[in-house]
Structure 1
Amino acid sequence: MARLSILHIEVSSMAKQKIDAPRVPQGLPDLTLGTWLESQDVYELGVISDCKVADQEAAKLVFDQVIFRNVVFQNVSLQNIELTDIIFENCDLSNADLSDAIIHRTEFRNCKLIGTNLSGAMLRNVKVDHCLVDYANFRYINMKQVILAGSSFVSADLYNTTLQQVYFNDSILEQAQLSGTKLAGIDLSGCQFLTISAEADDLKGCIIAPEQAPVFAALFGLIVKD
């Protein structure tokens, strides 16, 4: 009886995962946001901490060399935001509209991005570390040199996303939408999922673990027999 053949590749992917870290100086002063954010405002060289940014709508904001610590973003629309050399620590950006953002040398550490809209965004040298990113909208994102580590992407929508040097490390992709996203060279072997949405052509060259074979076989209507 024919069996699904799985190519087993030994790769030291962790050694290859090199991205540029945020260039954030030590000893930054406290930085206070204005009562009302205005489009094209520029904030730089400071720490924004222990506050709530609520009911705000602005476009093309610029943040450069800023640390956000324990900040809650509630009911905000910040389209075309530009983030360079930024660290988010213990922040909540759930349901924030950050569509068409430009994000460069930025880290999200232990943050909530549940339902966050990042559609059309461009990410370069970004790390998402131990975050909740369930139901997030990543449609048409262009990602290069990005590490997604120890995070949950349950039901996240990565439809038609461009991935280049993107590393999924010990993350949950249960019911994630990956249709239209080319996965050649992308290593999903360390991820957890029982179901996933993808097209057959998108899976060519994707690296998976042997135990994940039944999940991918199901996409082709196949049954893997023990």
Structure 2
Amino acid sequence: MYKYEDQSFDEKDFSQADFREGELRNCTFTRCRFRAAHLEELLTSGCRFIDCDFTGAQFNASVHHGSAFTNCRFRGANLFVAKFEECKMVGSDFSEASFDGITIGPGDWSYTNLRHANLSKQQLRGVRFTEADLYECNFEKADLREADLSRTQLAKCKLYGADLRGANLDGVDFKSLEVKGARMDAAQAILFLRSHGAKVE
């Protein structure tokens, strides 16, 4: 098992590299490539990944605490039972990534592309998704209480059984939203009704 600590890497190609069961602490990776890399059971803490390419990478059972993955590409990555706690994922692209069994703790997922992601039954309380693209995401039975969903794209999302109470829904297009079966608080219900032309007094 290897361990990297307080190291910086710029534009390095780690494609298909084996990082399995390793540990990275307070490291910085800028514009590095991890295409098809093996990151299974990797532990990162306080690391920064900036403009990195994780296309097709294997993150199975990896754990990330307090790390930042900003403007990174996770296209087709496998995030099976990966855990992200207090992480900053701003601007990253998760097109066609596998989210089965993922754990997303409180963190910042603003401006991310999470189109078609399966986040059903996830504990997403307090997660920040400001202006994220959540088109056709599956949030069935997910806990989204106190989450920041302001100005997100929620069209065609599955929300049956989801708990939205206390979530910030400012700027959301309610006309594109199917809320049948979702739990909402009174303020959200009023926003929904007004968006459909109702006069609430």
Category of TM-score, reference length = shorter chain = 0.7 to 0.9
Instruction: Report sequence identity in percent.
Output: 20
Aligned Cα RMSD in Å? 2.4
Q: C-alpha deviations, 1:60-111, integer Å up to 9, x for none?
A: 2221111101111112111122211111111111111112222122221211
Q: C-alpha deviations, 1:109-141, integer Å up to 9, x for none?
A: 211111111122221222222211111111122
Task: Name the aligned partner's letter for residue 172 of structure 2.
Answer: I
Distance 2:67 2:4 in 1: 16
Once the two structures are superposed, the pairs formed by residues 1-226 of structure 1 within 5 Å of their partners are 30-31=3-4, 36-199=12-175, 202-225=178-201
Q: Return the offset for 1:144.
A: 3.9
The structure whose Rg is larger is 1
Find runs of 4+ consecutive structure 1 residues off by over 4 angstroms: 198-201
Task: Name the aligned partner's letter for residue 133 of structure 1.
Answer: W
Structure number with higher relative contact order (C-alpha < 8 Å, ≥ 6 residues apart):
1
**SS of residue in 1 equivalent to 2:47:** strand
Tell me the TM-score normalized by structure 2: 0.86
Aligned residues: 198
Task: Name the aligned partner's letter for residue 129 of structure 2.
Answer: F
**SS of residue in 2 equivalent to 1:123:** coil
Distance 2:182 2:121 in 1: 17
Distance 1:60 1:45 in 2: 16
Task: Name the aligned partner's letter for residue 131 of structure 1.
Answer: G
